[in-house]
Structure 1
Amino acid sequence: MTNAMNKKNNSIEFPSSTMISVNDIELEVFEAGKQNKDKPIVLCHGFPEHAFSWRFQISELVKAGYHVIVPNQRGYGKSSCPTEVKEYDIKHLTGDLVSLLDYYGYKDAIFIGHDWGANVVWNLALLHPERVRKIVNLALPYQVRGKKPWIEWMEEIFGEDNYFVHFNRQQGVADAILDKNNSNFLRNLFRKNVPLTSPEPGMLMINLAKAEKPLGEPIMSEDELAIFISAFEASGFTGGINWYRNLDRNWHLLADVNPIIKHPTLMIYGEQDMIPKSKNLRDFVPNVEVVSLDCGHCIQQEKPKETTQTILKWLEQHDVKKGYGTQT
């Protein structure tokens, strides 16, 4: 996998990885732009993804003067995959990023997250606000902590086949099916321009793993997809799924946390994404700017140029060159 990523892939050069010890685990970290050491920007992937999902953004961010740090978060790639489910709760996930900043000697950084990575960045801003300079999140808006734990609420609203609920109530079942059908699952999942159809009965992720024919068009080339497939052949899917298995635990951990995020924030939606836009985002993230791109869920891979341009334009408008932050 490493050799494949070091080759030019669709004219994209992806950096080699380094194993870094942080927060009692090891993270596989891809890094570029070390010469821009006073301007860190951390890119956080989602499920079931890989640092490679940011391949189109890295070089452009470096050209714009940033030190780009892209971890495979715990449970992914060559990073540690703890066996205890609770070691994937939001305190551990945000703690990894804090420790990563400490490793590089940074007081704070800009954080960009997609999907589950966005959820981690939102919560990093809640739990460690002083370590976050600015936020750019893709696909997943801020999730308000309601009166009931998230999985309990989802089960009541969406039923037992909802994949969030299924991951929690039938632990190990989906993991085994996804592991067995790794390449088929990822090939069927990473699609764009998927026709709108009524959802099939059963659990979405298991259906995708078993589906004989993919819908829509592929988001990535076979060479690119092979990098994801190889990574999950090594790690399995349980580590990533364990993030979901901590949602109710996270709900309890956030009970006494101020829910308002005051950092300058850019929220990027995909117009064709199944995830609905937040109707009250500004109530909880008052300094947010919202942009929508004509794509589905995998925004930075489906619309790489537009995503990168949108991010760079917003950062420039917020005058990141002045008072960016200092090294500790």
Structure 2
Amino acid sequence: MTKNYEFPTPTLISVNGVKLEVFEAGQENMGRPIVLCHGWPEHAFSWRYQVPSLVEAGYHVIIPNQRGYGESSCPKEVEKYDIEYLTGDLVALLDYYQYKDAIFMGHDWGASVVWSMALLHPERVSKMINLCLPYQVRGDKPWIDFMEEVFGNDYYFVHFNKQPGVADTILDGNVAQFLHNLYRKNLPSQRVVKGMEMINLAKASKPLGEPVMSDEDLSIYIASFKKTGFTPSINWYRNLNRNWHLLGNVSPIIHQSTLMVYGEKDVIPPLPNIKDFVPNIDVRSLDTCHWIQEERPEELNKMILEWLGK
């Protein structure tokens, strides 16, 4: 990150029936938008290392805290976090700025939203960059049902759905410890996890590996989740079966030019046949765990800018 760089001051913008906390940089580059979509349990601040490079390269950078995060609205109803609402927020954000389309970049759950933008609103997506989470193939069974069969009841996606409120309460009671234990790199390989992994992390007194970020940076995440609690962001997971149904009537093929960057030490495996669904894709990887834009920012920025400049 360049010296003396300060993350932008946010603006609250009313879109799609909610208010989004939006961090914006490079307004002098109006007309070349790139929208950055964070994952779980993240914050717009997770993109702090990408902003200066993208602005310098001539992009108008728009980073929302998506619904359920930070100072953005946190609707009470679970279904208000389905993929139609999440992508609808981004469409409305483009309308607010009077952009026909934009480049979208997502990490983790943010990548899932970006993939879905290309499926539900293809005309609004010019190019895509996704980190860690590959395209999710819509199989014969709704996603939570499939995960329950393959991974069991304790898998956190399943647990969030089958035992609503249990994990939320434990994470809310251990915000700092949970995030401190989660944001780690250089973890020991072949960890055997018994029980629900996120609850284990919230309760663990000693973290594994090394910290991804400074205590000062982590404090921004901690303050954010102490304000919102974890339920709004976990509600994204509680719509996975609903999303499976909502995506049933759209073509599964994505035609936009796409860059997919995997973390070589991440637990999320690559999708071997991703080109069947995303034919115009470049697949790369970096020697990182899951928090790719924070672990290897300079290498990632170079990769992104070279790809965008092609």
The 2-side partners of 1:59 and 1:190 are apart by 23
Give the aligned partner of residue 166 of structure 1: 159
One-letter code aligned to 2:161? N
The 2-side partners of 1:198 and 1:127 are apart by 37
Give the aligned partner of residue 109 of structure 1: 102
Q: Is the 8 A contact 2:266 2:288 kept in 1?
A: yes
Give the aligned partner of residue 15 of structure 1: 8
In the superposition, the TM-score normalised over structure 2's length comes to 0.99
Give the aligned partner of residue 44 of structure 2: 51
The 1-side partners of 2:194 and 2:255 are apart by 41
The 2-side partners of 1:19 and 1:309 are apart by 31
Give the aligned partner of residue 37 of structure 1: 30
Q: Give secondary structure in 2 for the equivalent of 1:56.
A: coil
Q: Is the 8 A contact 1:113 1:119 kept in 2?
A: yes
Structural mapping, 1:92-131, within 5 Å: 92-131=85-124
The 2-side partners of 1:74 and 1:160 are apart by 27
1:293 maps onto 2:252 in alignment: no
The 2-side partners of 1:83 and 1:140 are apart by 27
1:216 maps onto 2:206 in alignment: no
The 2-side partners of 1:168 and 1:221 are apart by 32
The 2-side partners of 1:243 and 1:206 are apart by 18
Q: Is the 8 A contact 2:2 2:52 kept in 1?
A: no
Q: Per-residue deviation at 1:45?
A: 0.1
The 2-side partners of 1:163 and 1:288 are apart by 30
Instruction: State the Cα RMSD in Å.
Output: 1.1
Structural mapping, 1:143-292, within 5 Å: 143-292=136-285
**CA distances 1:231-254 after superposition (whole Å, capped 9, x unpaired):** 000111111100000000000011
Q: Per-residue deviation at 1:196?
A: 1.2
Give the aligned partner of residue 4 of structure 1: none
The 2-side partners of 1:154 and 1:31 are apart by 37
* Long gaps (5+) in structure 1: 1-7, 318-328
Q: Is the 8 A contact 2:94 2:101 kept in 1?
A: yes
Q: Give secondary structure in 2 for the equivalent of 1:282.
A: helix
Instruction: Rate the CA distance shift 1:9–1:215 in 2: closer, same or farther, 3 A.
Output: farther
Q: Give secondary structure in 1 for the equivalent of 2:50.
A: helix
**CA distances 1:96-151 after superposition (whole Å, capped 9, x unpaired):** 00000000000000000000000000000000000000000000000000000000
Q: Say which of 81, 84, 89 aligns to 1:88.
A: 81
Q: Per-residue deviation at 1:12?
A: 3.8
Q: Per-residue deviation at 1:293?
A: 0.2
The 1-side partners of 2:190 and 2:211 are apart by 18
Q: Per-residue deviation at 1:201?
A: 1.1
The 2-side partners of 1:105 and 1:232 are apart by 31
In the superposition, the TM-score normalised over structure 1's length comes to 0.93
The 1-side partners of 2:166 and 2:266 are apart by 27
**CA distances 1:189-221 after superposition (whole Å, capped 9, x unpaired):** 000000114322100100000001000000000
One-letter code aligned to 2:231? T
Give the aligned partner of residue 61 of structure 2: 68
One-letter code aligned to 2:93? L
Instruction: Rate the CA distance shift 1:106–1:23 in 2: closer, same or farther, 3 A.
Output: same
The 1-side partners of 2:5 and 2:112 are apart by 27
Instruction: Rate the CA distance shift 1:10–1:249 in 2: closer, same or farther, 3 A.
Output: farther
Aligned length: 310
Q: Per-residue deviation at 1:10?
A: 7.4
One-letter code aligned to 1:156? E
Q: Per-residue deviation at 1:41?
A: 0.3
